[in-house]
Chain A
Amino acid sequence: MDAAASMAAAPQPYVLQETLTSHNRAVSAVKFSPDGCLLASASGDKTLRVWSTADFSLLTELSGHEEGISDLSFSSDGRYLCSASDDLTVRIWDLAAATAVKTLSGHSNYVFCCAYNPQSNMIASGSFDETVRVWEVKSGKCLRVLPAHSEPVTAVDFNYNGSLIVSSSYDGLCRIWDSATGHCMKTLIDDDSPPVSFVKFSPNGKFVLAATLDNTLRLWHFSAGKFLKTYTGHANSRFCIPATFSVTNGKYIVSGSEDNCVYLWDLQTRKIVQKLEGHMDGVIAVSCHPSENMIASGALGNDKTVKVWVQRTEEQMED
């Protein structure tokens, strides 16, 4: 009966719900906790802030890093956060105590990205020193140093069961590693190799979403070694902008862009379904809520805010 309901292709648009202004410098990363109750943001102002997703009040501010922070990752139980910083360390924060409990040192250049594995007993970190390090959470010991790339490592991610790690780099390669042994399993490379600025596994671990600095996102079927989908239309040639899968209400690819918008593409048709406008500077951080139709985005220095976008239902929309 509803016109909107019968049009299965057109989703409800996302609208801006909250703008969180708290950081003093560019926001570099935003992530929802695995249970969806918390939203954390990392910034060049050397702090991390944790917000409640219920009322978007600021719950904690975590300081301790000596330089700006580039990435953050929640543990699976949402009790711990790890953050990667230009001060060459990865720190693990206890959210209940609001302090850092461990500092993982070993990288010899800026640590750019970090990720917890699903079992949350290991953390992988990628750095400008061209290596990926795997750390044991409990003792903080570095378990492995993977000779991953020949340029700064821009992203690391574990697959859904923690058995594989994918890493991307400015050298144009994505490499897939066996996390138990540290052996390289596969290298994904295209004919021309633009710097890969971001990489992430799909929820079932079969595909890898890679962003390259030629304004393109590609979905690779990594065991076959070829890509299946391309997403374009946004601007991405300077910064490492994460992209993610939105699967709570239809399947979409969500990414930030240097033209100050958040882009949403339909996964299968590759068409842009929405551009979220509102930020005053390039959007270099996005994250999707695990169960609700909510997207969080963070922007560069002229903006410094975290914006939360939701999909309103029919009743909430005012026509």
Chain B
Amino acid sequence: MNAPIIEVNLIFWVVLGVWMGEDPLQGDFPEVIEEFLQHGNMKCIAFNRRGTLLAAGCANGSCVIWDFETRGVAKELRDKACVAPITSVCWSKYGHYLLASATDKSLTLWNVVNGEKITHITLQQTTLHARLHPGSCTPSLCLACPLSSAPILVDLNNGTSTVLPVSVTDNTNGNAVSHPRNKFSDSSLPFTPTAATFDKHGDLIYLGNSKGEILIVDPKNVRVNALIPIPGGSVVKDIVFSRNGQYLLTNSNDRVIRVYESLLPTKGAAKELEIMSDTDDKFPRIEKLKEVGTKCLRLSREFQDAVTKIQWKAPCFSGDGEWVIGASASKGEHKLYIWDRAGHLVKILEGPKEALIDLAWHPLRPLVVSVSVAGLVYIWAKDYTENWSAFAPDFKELEENEEYVEREDEFDLMPESEKVKELVINQDEEVDILTVEKDSAFSDSDASQEELCFLPAVPFPDPEQQDKCLGSSLKLGDSNHTGSPFSVEAAQNGQAILPASSPLEVVGNSTPEEAVGTAGMKRKRKPSAKGMELQAEKGRKPQTKNKSSGKTSKPRSRSGDGIDTNGSVLEDDVTDEYL
């Protein structure tokens, strides 16, 4: 019965693959661990909108922001008041703010650019997942999901919270257990583990409750407007939207991940929903909500591991929504399962023997980042095979041997058709060197608001170059103070030394000393302190004043190994005056 469907799928993929010049069985999903990041004990991660920065919440209450392009620490957000382990981090839409929730029941909103804390709110319970409203540039609303009670909408400006309804009963009008605008006053909280998320623009909130139902709630009036029962009716552990807002997945206690297609428009969904749910009051409330629900979500696929019936953890979509990834929640396992949207399991990635605690897919690239219980962040990427035709344009890569068919007159003594093909280039055509093409991956970029893609990289001064050279006084204006003391400290403490026995397989052409593809080589973040001292001794730099006041272990640029021995350019006499 499934055969025709599979055939069609296969043909589709082969055609697609041929068109794109790719192997149809390969896809845009990662395959191997490329690298890992280490800085403190990281617990949870989140990419910013463009995937240029990665925020990680640590066990010591601080948040580390990684420059994902250079894989270095860009900033560290620290405050004396925030010392409890972070449970989740969430970026604002344009990357200016970061919301962190911690185990001491607090929520902290940080200003990423200057590294300062904006607000710090303490709630009734510890939040497991906190999400900032995705629609606004300066969000004041956030959704906080505690471990086992109803999610709350928190207003970050005044600290008030609204409990969201987690179930619908017939004799109420939908506002089941809410006390709008008040703190949750009931001391004995009902055990209602619920997962919740905003839709793409924050118009609606989708809840997955402990009865196995998806409720669509309008945050403005805290009203349940639709209800979709999940087959199986088991507790919903996670509910996640794809980046384009068209697909929703739920992870239930019955070990099944379900993908739904969203039938509502991505923008202005709340209005549509209100129209649909307001039509008539003839039917009982629940029936009405279910009816509306069928117009909002449609079950598309179910993913499960039929053999071992694994519980899933941290499922999410790829950046383009084509793939679904879920981690195995089995004890001590670091396994990632990737499915395509048609439902086929395409890959199982196995990491080191450290349990996985969080997972995120890069918004644009086929990269996945996973956090292990050891506090390390692993970066999974595609296994790169060199594209040789890029190195010489008239090379053509063949998948398999092709039989060569010579031209009719190719071996004639006087071939007729052999002539140099003159490339006819019309040099009078207009050339446009200024217009930049819009990035299609970010369709709703609001040009008026500037997005924070990078944090300014201030070079960390080399220890020797503290001397002032001869120079006239500068007439430039006041230079801004470079960075908060925290970020300086971060660079010092960052990227600790690799443990020697790390059972990793790292492939990449990113090691400075060698060229492409050195399999099995670890990507070290920096050499050990002893190694650097040895390098310094080789007399790399002439002006090594050795003003080392206990600073010899500071990270420095790594020199290639072979160069120093022929350091003939380095002069022997080092003077204070440089001219």
Could you list 14 further interchain pairs (A-B, Cβ under 8 angstroms) beyond the known A144-B512, A160-B436, A181-B509? A59-B475, A62-B471, A88-B563, A95-B474, A106-B512, A122-B69, A137-B459, A138-B67, A143-B510, A145-B515, A162-B69, A186-B390, A204-B436, A228-B431
Task: Evaluate contact between A105 and B465: CB separation under 8 angstroms.
Answer: no
Q: Which residues of A contact B513 (CB under 8 A)?
A: 145
Interface residues on B, range: 35 or more
Please report the C-alpha to C-alpha distance between residue A205 and residue B555 in the assembled complex, in whole angstroms.
Answer: 35
Looking at the assembled complex, report how far the CB atom of B127 sits from the nearest CB atom of chain A, in whole angstroms: 32
Task: Evaluate contact between B423 and A106: CB separation under 8 angstroms.
Answer: no
Chain B residue nearest in CB terms to A202: B433
Q: Which residues of B contact A121 (CB under 8 A)?
A: 67, 69-70, 74, 454, 457
Interface residues on A, range: 35 or more
Query: What are 28 contact pairs spanning A and B, CB under 8 A?
Result: A58-B472, A63-B470, A67-B569, A96-B474, A99-B469, A99-B471, A101-B459, A101-B460, A102-B460, A102-B462, A103-B465, A120-B456, A121-B70, A136-B457, A138-B491, A139-B72, A139-B460, A140-B459, A143-B70, A145-B514, A175-B391, A182-B510, A183-B390, A188-B393, A206-B432, A207-B431, A229-B427, A268-B430
Task: Evaluate contact between A101 and B457: CB separation under 8 angstroms.
Answer: no
Indicate if A310 sits at the interface (CB-CB under 8 A): no
Task: Evaluate contact between B465 and A99: CB separation under 8 angstroms.
Answer: yes
Looking at the assembled complex, report how far the CB atom of B577 sits from the nearest CB atom of chain A, in whole angstroms: 9
Indicate if A119 sits at the interface (CB-CB under 8 A): yes
Q: Which residues of B contact A105 (CB under 8 A)?
A: 540-541, 557, 559, 563
Looking at the assembled complex, report how far the CB atom of B397 sits from the nearest CB atom of chain A, in whole angstroms: 13
Please report the C-alpha to C-alpha distance between residue A99 and residue B435 in the assembled complex, in whole angstroms.
Answer: 38
From 87 to 138 in chain A, residues with beta carbon under 8 angstroms from any chain B beta carbon are 87-88, 92, 94-108, 119-122, 133, 135-138
Indicate if B562 sits at the interface (CB-CB under 8 A): yes
Q: Which residues of B contact A278 (CB under 8 A)?
A: none
Looking at the assembled complex, report how far the CB atom of B459 sits from the nearest CB atom of chain A, in whole angstroms: 5
Task: Evaluate contact between B468 and A57: CB separation under 8 angstroms.
Answer: no
Contact of B558 among A100, A142, A227, A228 (CB under 8 A): A142
Task: Evaluate contact between A184 and B460: CB separation under 8 angstroms.
Answer: no
Q: Which residues of A contact B454 (CB under 8 A)?
A: 119-121
Task: Evaluate contact between B557 and A185: CB separation under 8 angstroms.
Answer: no
| In the A-B complex, the 4 residue pairs with the closest CB atoms | A140-B557, A96-B479, A121-B457, A98-B471
Contact of B433 among A145, A147, A225, A267 (CB under 8 A): A267
Looking at the assembled complex, report how far the CB atom of B383 sits from the nearest CB atom of chain A, in whole angstroms: 12
Task: Evaluate contact between A102 and B70: CB separation under 8 angstroms.
Answer: no
Indicate if A52 sits at the interface (CB-CB under 8 A): yes
Q: Mark A182-199, 1 if CB is under 8 A from B, else 0.
A: 111111110000000000
Q: Mark B418-447, 1 if CB is under 8 A from A, else 0.
A: 000001010111111111110000000000
Dominant SS among interface residues on chain B:
loop
Task: Evaluate contact between B559 and A64: CB separation under 8 angstroms.
Answer: no
* Interface residues in chain B, defined as those with a beta carbon under 8 Å from any beta carbon in chain A: 52, 67, 69-72, 74, 365, 384, 386-387, 390-393, 423, 425, 427-437, 453-454, 456-462, 465-472, 474-476, 479, 491, 509-510, 512-516, 526, 540-543, 555-560, 562-563, 569-571, 578-579
Task: Evaluate contact between B70 and A203: CB separation under 8 angstroms.
Answer: no
Known: A98-B468, A145-B513, A270-B427. A47 touches B558 (CB 8 A): no
Please report the C-alpha to C-alpha distance between residue A130 and residue B537 in the assembled complex, in whole angstroms.
Answer: 27
Chain B residue nearest in CB terms to A117: B69
Please report the C-alpha to C-alpha distance between residue A189 and residue B393 in the assembled complex, in whole angstroms.
Answer: 8
Looking at the assembled complex, report how far the CB atom of B456 sits from the nearest CB atom of chain A, in whole angstroms: 7
Looking at the assembled complex, report how far the CB atom of A212 sits from the nearest CB atom of chain B, in whole angstroms: 16
Task: Evaluate contact between A184 and B390: CB separation under 8 angstroms.
Answer: yes
Contact of A204 among B69, B365, B432, B465 (CB under 8 A): B432
Contact of B476 among A95, A141, A186, A247 (CB under 8 A): A95
Q: Which residues of B contact A64 (CB under 8 A)?
A: 465, 469, 543, 578
Task: Evaluate contact between B390 and A138: CB separation under 8 angstroms.
Answer: no
Task: Evaluate contact between A63 and B578: CB separation under 8 angstroms.
Answer: yes
Looking at the assembled complex, report how far the CB atom of A253 sits from the nearest CB atom of chain B, in whole angstroms: 10
Q: Which residues of A contact B460 (CB under 8 A)?
A: 101-102, 138-140
Please report the C-alpha to C-alpha distance between residue A215 and residue B534 in the assembled complex, in whole angstroms.
Answer: 48
Please report the C-alpha to C-alpha distance between residue A103 and residue B470 in the assembled complex, in whole angstroms.
Answer: 18
Known: A87-B569, A103-B541, A119-B453. A136 touches B70 (CB 8 A): yes
Q: Which residues of B contact A97 (CB under 8 A)?
A: 468, 479
Indicate if A238 sits at the interface (CB-CB under 8 A): no
Please report the C-alpha to C-alpha distance between residue A247 and residue B435 in the assembled complex, in whole angstroms.
Answer: 12
Please report the C-alpha to C-alpha distance between residue A301 and residue B59 in the assembled complex, in whole angstroms.
Answer: 60
Known: A80-B459, A205-B436, A226-B423. A61 touches B472 (CB 8 A): yes
Max count, chain A CB within 10 A of own CB: residue among B431, B474, B510: B431
Please report the C-alpha to C-alpha distance between residue A301 and residue B334 in the assembled complex, in whole angstroms.
Answer: 64
Please report the C-alpha to C-alpha distance between residue A124 and residue B137 in the assembled complex, in whole angstroms.
Answer: 34
Looking at the assembled complex, report how far the CB atom of A18 sits from the nearest CB atom of chain B, in whole angstroms: 17
Please report the C-alpha to C-alpha distance between residue A8 and residue B284 in the assembled complex, in whole angstroms.
Answer: 75
Q: Which residues of A contact B560 (CB under 8 A)?
A: 106, 108
Q: Which residues of B contact A162 (CB under 8 A)?
A: 69
Chain A residue nearest in CB terms to B556: A140
Looking at the assembled complex, report how far the CB atom of A46 sits from the nearest CB atom of chain B, in whole angstroms: 8
Chain A residue nearest in CB terms to B562: A108
Looking at the assembled complex, report how far the CB atom of B130 sits from the nearest CB atom of chain A, in whole angstroms: 28
Task: Evaluate contact between A79 and B470: CB separation under 8 angstroms.
Answer: no
Known: A62-B471, A138-B459. A106 touches B558 (CB 8 A): yes
